[in-house]
Structure 1
Amino acid sequence: MALEAKSSLKRVVSRPEVKKFPFFHPFSRRLHICLLCMAGFCCTTFMRMHIAITMTCMINSTALVYESESAIVDNSSSIFEEVELVSNGACSANNDNHKKVVVDYGGQLVWNSQEQNLIFSGTFWGSIITVLPSMFFINRYSPRYVLQAAVGCYILMTAITPYIATHFGPYPVFISRVIMGLGEGFILPANNAILANWFPSAERSTAISLFTTGNQMAGAGGNPVAASLCASSFGWPSIFYFASIVSTIWSVCWFLTASNQPSKCKVMTKTEKEYLEANVVRRSNKTNRSLVVPYSKILKSPAFLAQLLCQFVINSIVTLLQIYLPNYFKDVLHLGVIANGTYTSVPNIVNFALKIFWGIAIDKAKEKKKISGTFAVKLSQSIANFGGAIFMILITFYVDCTNPQLGFFFFCMMYCCMGTLVSGFYTSLLSLAPKYTATMSSISVFCAMLGRLSTPAIVGLIKKNNTLSEWQTLFLVCAGANIVCGAVFLIFGSGELQEWGEEDQEKEMKPFGEKTPLSSIQNLPADSEDVDVFQSALDIDIPQIQLNEITLTTEERQRFQRRIREDSMCL
Structure 2
Amino acid sequence: MTSNSKNGKDFHKTKYTVVTIDDNIDGAKKKPVWFGTRHFVTFMLFLGMANAYIMRTNMSVAIVAMVNHTAISKLSEGHNDSESVDTECGHFIINGTSAHKEADGEFVWETDIQGYVLSSFFYGYVITQIPFGILSKRYGNIYFLGIGMLINSLFGLLVPVAAKFGIWWLIAVRFIQGLGEGPIVPCTHALLAKWIPPNERSRMGAFVYAGAQFGTVISMPLSGLLSVSEWGWPSVFYVFGALGTIWCIFFLIFVYEDPFSSPRINDDERKYIQKTLGVIDGAATPRIPWRSIAKSLPFWAILLAHMGHNFGYETLMTELPTYMKQILRFSIKDNGFLSSMPYLAMWLFSIFISHVADWMLSKPYFTHTVVRKLINAIGQFGPAIALIGASFTGCNKWLTVAILTVGVGLNGGIYSGFKVNHLDISPQFAGILMALTNCLANLAGLLAPIYAGRVVKGTPSQAKWRIVFLTAAIVYMGCCSFYVMFGSGERQTWDQDRNQQQNLNEKKKRETKENKTETTSA
Offset, 1:90: 6.0
Structure 1 match to 2:79:
none
Match of 2:483 among 476, 480, 489: 489
Distance 2:113 2:385 in 1: 38
Q: Is the 8 A contact 1:521 1:547 kept in 2?
A: no
Q: Which runs of 5+ in 1 are unaligned?
A: 1-14, 70-88, 524-543, 551-571
Q: Aligned pair count? A: 481
Structure 2 match to 1:280:
277
Offset, 1:502: 2.6
TM-score (norm 2): 0.79
Structure 1 match to 2:410:
417
Offset, 1:40: 1.5
Offset, 1:31: 1.1
Match of 2:27 among 14, 17, 24: 17
Q: Quickly say closer, same or farther: Cα 1:367–1:144, change in 2 above 3 A.
A: farther
Q: Quickly say closer, same or farther: Cα 1:138–1:549, change in 2 above 3 A.
A: farther
5 Å-filtered alignment, 1:224-243, equals 224-227=221-224, 229=226, 238-243=235-240
Sequence identity of aligned pairs in percent?
25
Q: Is the 8 A contact 1:139 1:284 kept in 2?
A: no
Q: Which has the higher contact order (CA 8 A, sep 6+)?
A: 2
The reply on whether 1:324 has 2:319 as its aligned counterpart is yes
Structure 1 match to 2:47:
39
Q: Is the 8 A contact 1:312 1:451 kept in 2?
A: yes
SS in structure 2 at match of 1:518 = helix
Q: Quickly say closer, same or farther: Cα 1:145–1:505, change in 2 above 3 A.
A: farther
The reply on whether 1:379 has 2:377 as its aligned counterpart is no
Q: Is the 8 A contact 1:520 1:546 kept in 2?
A: no
Distance 2:289 2:322 in 1: 45
Q: Quickly say closer, same or farther: Cα 1:66–1:359, change in 2 above 3 A.
A: same
Offset, 1:335: 6.0
Deviation sequence 1:415-456 (CA, Å, 0-9, x none): 232121111110112221121122211111122112113334
Deviation sequence 1:283-307 (CA, Å, 0-9, x none): 999x95x752111111111111011
Letter in 1 for 2:350: K
Offset, 1:102: 4.8
Q: Quickly say closer, same or farther: Cα 1:473–1:111, change in 2 above 3 A.
A: closer
Structure 2 match to 1:255:
252
Q: Is the 8 A contact 2:100 2:329 kept in 1?
A: no
Match of 1:435 among 392, 413, 428: 428
Distance 1:62 1:309 in 2: 37
Distance 2:323 2:52 in 1: 28
Letter in 2 for 1:499: T
Q: Quickly say closer, same or farther: Cα 1:405–1:242, change in 2 above 3 A.
A: closer
Distance 2:257 2:207 in 1: 18
5 Å-filtered alignment, 1:21-420, equals 21=31, 26-55=34-63, 59=66, 61=68, 64=71, 66-67=73-74, 91-95=89-93, 101-104=100-103, 112-113=109-110, 118-162=116-160, 164=162, 168-227=165-224, 229=226, 238-280=235-277, 291-329=286-324, 341=336, 343-369=338-364, 371-396=366-391, 399-401=393-395, 403-420=396-413
SS in structure 2 at match of 1:101 = helix
Letter in 2 for 1:51: M
Structure 1 match to 2:22:
none
Letter in 2 for 1:384: G
Structure 1 match to 2:506:
518
Deviates more, 1:296-305 or 1:268-277: 268-277
Q: Is the 8 A contact 1:333 1:400 kept in 2?
A: no
Q: Quickly say closer, same or farther: Cα 1:395–1:111, change in 2 above 3 A.
A: closer
Deviates more, 1:305-314 or 1:346-355: 346-355
Offset, 1:459: 4.2
The reply on whether 1:502 has 2:490 as its aligned counterpart is no
Deviates more, 1:179-188 or 1:220-229: 220-229
TM-score (norm 1): 0.73
Deviation sequence 1:70-93 (CA, Å, 0-9, x none): xxxxxxxxxxxxxxxxxxx96434
Offset, 1:110: 5.2
Q: Quickly say closer, same or farther: Cα 1:140–1:102, change in 2 above 3 A.
A: farther
Offset, 1:244: 3.6
Deviates more, 1:447-456 or 1:30-39: 447-456
SS in structure 2 at match of 1:420 = helix
Distance 2:241 2:333 in 1: 30
Match of 1:445 among 421, 424, 438: 438
Letter in 2 for 1:135: G
